[in-house]
A and B are shown apart, each in its own frame.
Chain A
Amino acid sequence: MANVPPIPKRISSIKFGLMSPKEVRKMSATPIITADTYDDDGFPIDMGLMDTKLGVIDPGLRCKTCSGRAGECPGHFGHIELVAPVVHVGFNKIIRKLLRASCRKCSRILLDLGQKQHFLDQLAAVEEIGHRPDDLINEVFKEASKVKTCPYCKEEQLDIKFEKPSEYLENGEKLTPTEIRDRFENIPDEDIRVIGMDPDNARPEWMILTVLPVPPVTVRPSITLESGQRSEDDLTHKLVDIIRINQRFQENREAGAPQLIIEDLWELLQYHVTTFFDNSVSGIPPARHRSGRPLKTLSQRLKGKEGRFRGSLSGKRVNFSARTVISPDPNLSINEVGVPMPIARILTVPVIVTPRTIEQLKVYIRNGTEIHPGANYVFRPDGRRIKVTEVNKEDLAEKIEYSWMVERQLKDGDTVLFNRQPSLHKMSIMAHSVKVLPNKTFRLNPAVCPPYNADFDGDEMNMHALQTEESRAEAKILMRVQENILSPRFGGPIIGGIHDHISGLFLLTRFENHISAKDAFDILRKAKAHELPDPAGHDEKGIPFWTGKQIFSQILPESLNMGFPAQVCSHCDVCQEEECPNDAYVVIRNGNLLKGTIDEAAIGAFKGKIQERIIKDISSEAGSKFIDDMTRLAIRAIMRTGLSFGIADEDIPKEARIQINEVLDTAEDAVQKLIRSYENKELEPLPGRTLDETIEMSIMQKLGKARDETGNIADSHMGLENSAVIMARSGARGSILNLTQMAACVGQQAVRGERIRRGYAGRTLTHFEAGDLGSDAHGFVKASYKSGLNPTEYFFHAIGGREGLVDTAVRTSQSGYLQRRLVNALQDLEVHYDITVRDTRGVVVQFKYGEDGIDATKSDFSKPDAIQRVIRSVMNKEAGE
């Protein structure tokens, strides 16, 4: 190990070029002349396509070139001498450009010496600054192909036309590859430099093939079917075709066949060589297998999603992984994942047989593969794998010795990685501990949905079983869910209560609930709190009762002290804090909720101040316990009262409806008045706006205000007994705007932030007069979803709705690409122990991470809260003591 070179090696240069026929022959191990592969004994034929000089794939044989066995021999190229030259498909574009840019007689590039020197200088300059010369070279071709007579031999240049797939016509007459090759051969070296090629590494005539390299057999291995029949690789099939036609061509030419037949064969050879490189060239039918399936030739192996780059190098399928649909289970901890039994029986964890493990492993092996937790495979120290079967399980259990390895099935408590695509941030892959459950879906606590951005409408997730002790340790310390509750994005919790958790605790803590001992224990049962504090009071009959705030306090850590405004806070000018009349200021003293309502600001994902405080002041473990308890408590709490929403919840009283209509009518009158003043040219334009823009803006503003007003009216008639209001106010789901649209007025429909104007000339629909600027003619929806939209309103609503859909579709693809570019640029940067950010070469990118060296997860939403809190806590203590 001592002389192993350091890992980051600097590549000084990479040379790209074309392969010359000479080079092809030099690297070739053997010429290939017969189209046959194996003889009757199943042995590779000499100078055939499976010649052992090209390497070996069958065990037992030795390579004639390097005398390596199968697996050791990397394979060697061979070559086929083509009877006549053919065009290489990949270079059609350059060949065409070069034909147009060079003289048909003397082969010189059609630029005078001065121009050539000018371009050469520019090329050198571009190379010096390290830019790509592509644009410059295109200009050379463009200039040269404009010239009609050769500046050297005065030959008139003819028009060159390229016809798919690989035919070149000069004034309608076909140029054969031989002719093209001759022209290119005569281009002098100094002219080649002008077109950006290096004559030592890439002569243009090498783009016309005279000899074809044959890839080693290791690149195109044949497979033996169960029937003993050999099945050859697609590339081998293609090479057979090429050799056959090549031979026929030669025979015909030697026999002096008519020109027509020779041309046909030449074209056929061209076709086969073309499809050997690329079987998806437009203009030619793809070469097919006998079964009718198109052949997978060289470029098909590399291209596209399943190609070598995207499919085999950037990403590949992995072992020890599983994927299935997810569903919720609030009884699981956020650190757990429910794994279906069928998956747990297939995924395994390797355990080495030691004095400590041997007894347990014997039990697993005796369980076999059918009884969970069992063992699926046993590995002997020599690497041999033995499958555990019903037949051999007893024997195996007796046979295992120290240093053997057993692959036991996944069981409760194993650490696995859990992932949902798209993996956009580090919380998209987190470590969970396994809980084996019946049925066929992965189960997870709904509180961990936000980091994965998961829901249960059919989402699938992936799981990876960790295989080494090191990976398990690393995953447990760095990747467990509880270690990722705080997001480095904004320094707050990304995991917390959602939907019903928020409504549930809101209902529990908001009102002066009187909860009997029986009910209290019922709510707290799942949260594993077994004692109640002193009752808050006694009712008329002398039976003690507790408040919701007291019950919630049971799951708070005792050392918790905090105060903050709740989500329901109405942002008064002067905050009365603890004396808040709306019970919207949360006060927690020594783990007791004294004042305030628990809602999104307290326990919600993204916002929850309580989780944040617990994690930062106590530990992430306490934080995860709190979330577990909180979700269970909230679910029990919401089940006690129930929370439902229906059409009737959108009802508003008659007088509210009348008020809303009045507001809408006055708004419409105001709009009409604006329009009249606009038509009478009395309207004053706003600064920097045209008159047309001004009227549009004022109308939009009027109508927007009207909609908000109707919302306020509806809102004032729906109190906190309305479940939609509860959900909107507490931050559980929906907003007051959603409510307004359902109950009062949907409002203006917009396209690109403007009123709808598209449609016919001067009007949106034929229902309106041309030039009508009125509110209903441009997409103002007076109706509410409850009352129902009229046909024109419905149409405008569909227009506005479609824009939203298009927007999301466009945004996701664009932001995805942006993210990819950013990740590719930053992926190798690393924060070192001295807080410098460096790349793999050790070049410093930042001298202090983020210029301030702050870990965002440990900051308070990036605000200097910590200092103030310390001061406050110190002052309070002093005052108290």
Chain B
Amino acid sequence: MTKFSLLDHELVPKHEIMSEGELKSVLSKYFIDKEQLPKIKVQDPVIKEIGATIGDVVKITRMSHTAGEADYYRLVIE
């Protein structure tokens, strides 16, 4: 069976694990703690795909009709 990457599907937006530095700047931009970010479960297929672990924050870049690209951040949880 051929295995393909979830991220290749046109409806799955780009997910990437954020570095410490990036995360810090996002958190300070919004004046929030990591806990106040939206969550995503580790079992989520796309999280498995990119290999993020609990406590990581993933950056999601979505295509938007009105805004072009929109960034979203999710904290990986159990």
Chain A residues with a Cβ under 8 A of chain B: 834, 836, 838, 841-848, 850-854, 862
Contacts and interface: CB of A to CB of B under 8 A. Distances in A.
7 contacts: A834-B30, A834-B31, A836-B30, A842-B36, A847-B70, A850-B66, A851-B66
B30 A848 contact: no
A843 B64 contact: no
A852 B66 contact: yes
Given A834-B30, A836-B30, A852-B70, A844 B64 contact: no
Contacts of B38: 843-845
Given A834-B30, A836-B30, A844-B30, A854 B71 contact: no
A844 B71 contact: no
A852 B35 CA distance: 24
Given A851-B70, A853-B67, 12 more contacts: A836-B30, A841-B36, A842-B36, A843-B35, A843-B38, A844-B32, A847-B71, A847-B72, A847-B73, A848-B67, A851-B67, A852-B64
B37 interface: yes
Contacts of B30: 834, 836, 844, 847
B14 interface: no
A844 B37 contact: yes
Contacts of B37: 843-844
A852 B36 contact: no
A846 B64 CA distance: 13
A853 B72 CA distance: 13
Contacts of A841: 36
A852 B32 contact: no
B66 A862 contact: yes
Interface string B48-78: 0000000000000010101100111100000
B36 A844 contact: yes
Contacts of B66: 850-852, 854, 862
Nearest first, the 9 closest Cβ-Cβ pairs linking A and B are A852-B67, A851-B70, A852-B66, A851-B64, A843-B36, A851-B67, A842-B36, A844-B36, A836-B30
Contacts, number: 38
A851 B67 CA distance: 7
Interface of B: 30-32, 35-38, 62, 64, 66-67, 70-73
Contacts of A852: 64, 66-67, 70
Contacts of A854: 66
A853 B35 CA distance: 23
Nearest to A842: B36
B32 to A, nearest CB: 6
Nearest to A838: B36
Given A851-B64, A852-B64, A842 B32 contact: yes
Nearest to B74: A844
A852 B73 CA distance: 15
Q: Which of A834, A836, A847, A854 has the most CB of B within 10 A?
A: A847
A850 B71 CA distance: 12
Nearest to B71: A847
A494 to B, nearest CB: 21
A851 B36 contact: no
A854 B36 CA distance: 23
B27 to A, nearest CB: 10
Contacts of A853: 67
A844 B38 CA distance: 6
A853 B70 CA distance: 10
A851 B64 CA distance: 7
A727 B34 CA distance: 60
Nearest to B73: A847
Nearest to A864: B66
A834 B29 CA distance: 9
Nearest to A851: B70
A127 to B, nearest CB: 15
Contacts of B67: 848, 851-853
Contacts of B71: 847
A848 B60 CA distance: 13
A404 to B, nearest CB: 46
- Indicate the member of A836, A841, A851 with the most B CB atoms within 10 Å: A851
Nearest to B66: A852
A338 B67 CA distance: 44
Contact of B62 (A834, A836, A838, A851): A851
A845 B30 CA distance: 12
A848 B64 CA distance: 12
Nearest to B26: A847
A308 B66 CA distance: 46
Contacts of A842: 32, 36
Nearest to B69: A851
Contacts of A834: 30-31
Contacts of B73: 847
Nearest to B64: A851
Contacts of B72: 846-847
A847 to B, nearest CB: 6
Contacts of A851: 62, 64, 66-67, 70
A853 B66 CA distance: 10
A845 B31 CA distance: 14
A12 to B, nearest CB: 16
A838 B37 CA distance: 10
A862 B71 CA distance: 21
A838 to B, nearest CB: 8
B76 to A, nearest CB: 15
B38 to A, nearest CB: 6
A705 to B, nearest CB: 36
A854 B32 CA distance: 23
A862 B66 CA distance: 8
A853 B67 CA distance: 8
A665 to B, nearest CB: 50
Contacts of A850: 66
A809 B26 CA distance: 49
A862 B67 CA distance: 12
A838 B38 CA distance: 10
Contacts of B35: 843
Nearest to B33: A842
B58 to A, nearest CB: 13
A337 to B, nearest CB: 37
B78 to A, nearest CB: 10
A851 B37 CA distance: 16
Find the residue from A834, A838, A843, A850 having the highest chain B CB count within 10 A: A843
A834 B67 CA distance: 17
Contacts of A846: 72
A847 B31 CA distance: 12
Nearest to B29: A834
B21 to A, nearest CB: 18
A750 B1 CA distance: 50
Contacts of B36: 838, 841-844
B32 A848 contact: no
A129 to B, nearest CB: 10
A532 B62 CA distance: 57
Nearest to B63: A851
A303 B9 CA distance: 51
A84 B67 CA distance: 73
A841 B38 CA distance: 12
A862 B37 CA distance: 29
Contacts of A843: 35-38
A289 B12 CA distance: 66
A433 B73 CA distance: 46
A847 B35 CA distance: 15
A852 B62 CA distance: 11
Nearest to A843: B36
